[in-house]
Amino acid sequence: MCRTCGCSEHGVHDHAHAHAHEHEHEHEHEHEHEHEHGHSHADGHTHAHADGHTHAHSHADVHAHDHDHDHADAHAHADTPRHGSVVSFEQALLAKNERLARANRRFYEERGILTLNLMSSPGAGKTTLLERTISRLPGVSTRVIEGDQATERDADRIRAAGAQAVQVNTGAGCHLDAHMVSHATERLDPEPGSLLLIENVGNLVCPALFDLGERARIVIFSVTEGEDKPLKYPHMFRAADVLVLNKIDLLPYVSFDVERSLAYARRLRPELRVFRTSATRGDGRDEWCDFLRSEVGGVS
Ligand code: MG
């Protein structure tokens, strides 16, 4: 996981247009302190930090806010020496994430909000699928959390399609975590009985390890990617509840055996539910939207 890519241990924010702000940390060893650090963001971004926590910002002023953050040890910040093993750091990181994910899940369940975590490699068609989905769910209040390393482009596309969206930029980070999603949810303020779609950062590795508090995990896999992807990225496919096989309009032009690929995926997750779609041409869209509508009805 992040042992290899380092996304959760190192600085993941952009210093290009830094400003100072203050905030408070609550540590598990029960002291609080305030500190300042310079970092940058465009308005409306949630920002990931070196120690795996995030801040939501809606304005550029100096301001104070609280958040909760615990450490693998007292000095696990990226700018201080690490103590202990990398493995124990990761275990603590994932344990913290799981705690926050449980809180997210409780929040969503209490309000009857259907939250889905959409994951794929870059370019599988997540954003296009969401764009084409939103307008086809009349009567379903739909909000979207967009995860990308940089830019507001996908959130802009979602807003243009008619849904409220919050963009989370992870900088060097390659996945969303439960804390980022918690802040983004606060900002989106989804209403009871609504649909909250989380488009994770395009990556088939790390996102599989981070529970966000979602009700279900959707993996989007396009026929241009190679039919053996489930074998190469088993964690992602094993963790998925639903598989959307996208870009099926391109099947005549690529070498991709659909049945063999689905067999690979079902070997990992026998109960996997599968939709075959072309987000651009419209294949499978009705079935996908019917599924979302019935799932929203099922939780609210
Ligand atoms: Mg996208």
From 54-63, 77-86, 209-218, the region with the lowest mean pLDDT: 54-63
Ligand 1 centroid to residue 39 C-alpha, Å: 24
Residues of the chain with pLDDT > 90, as a percent, come to: 68
Ligand 1 centroid to residue 75 C-alpha, Å: 35
Q: What is the mean pLDDT of residues 79-85?
A: 54
Ligand 1 centroid to residue 99 C-alpha, Å: 27
Q: What is the mean pLDDT of residues 68-87?
A: 50
Ligand 1 centroid to residue 128 C-alpha, Å: 8
Ligand 1 centroid to residue 146 C-alpha, Å: 7
CA distance 67 to 106: 19
CB count in 10 Å sphere of residue 267: 14
For 211-226, write each residue's pLDDT tens digit. Answer: 999 999 999 999 999 9
The pLDDT-based confidence of 5 (bands split at 50, 70, 90) is: low
Domain 112-299: CATH superfamily, name plus number: P-loop containing nucleotide triphosphate hydrolases (3.40.50.300)
Helices (H) and strands (E) in the chain, counts: 9, 12
Contact 115, 108 (CB under 8 A): yes
CA distance 27 to 115: 29
The backbone torsions φ and ψ at residue 188, rounded to the nearest 5 degrees and listed phi first, read -80, -30
Domain positions in the chain are 112-299
Ligand 1 centroid to residue 201 C-alpha, Å: 7
CA distance 281 to 283: 6
CA distance 20 to 29: 26
From 11-15, 120-124, 275-279, the region with the lowest mean pLDDT: 11-15
Query: Among all chains, which residue has been given the structure tokens 């379903």?
Result: 140
Q: Which residues hold their Cβ within 5 A of ligand 1, which is an ion?
A: 126-127, 154
What confidence score (pLDDT) does residue 6 get? 59
CB count in 10 Å sphere of residue 11: 17
Ligand 1 centroid to residue 126 C-alpha, Å: 5
DSSP 224-247: TS-TTHHHHSHHHHHH-SEEEEE-
For 20-56, write each residue's pLDDT tens digit. Answer: 333 333 333 333 333 333 333 333 344 444 344 444 4
Ligand 1 centroid to residue 272 C-alpha, Å: 23
Q: What is the mean pLDDT of residues 114-126?
A: 98
For 223-258, write each residue's pLDDT tens digit. Answer: 999 999 999 999 999 999 999 999 999 999 999 999
CA distance 132 to 246: 13
Ligand 1 centroid to residue 158 C-alpha, Å: 10
Ligand 1 centroid to residue 64 C-alpha, Å: 31
Contact 96, 122 (CB under 8 A): no
Ligand 1 centroid to residue 154 C-alpha, Å: 6
Ligand 1 centroid to residue 81 C-alpha, Å: 35
For 182-201, write each residue's pLDDT tens digit. Answer: 999 999 999 999 999 999 99
| Model confidence at 2: pLDDT above 80 | no
The residues near 232 (Cβ < 8 Å, ≥ 6 apart) are: none
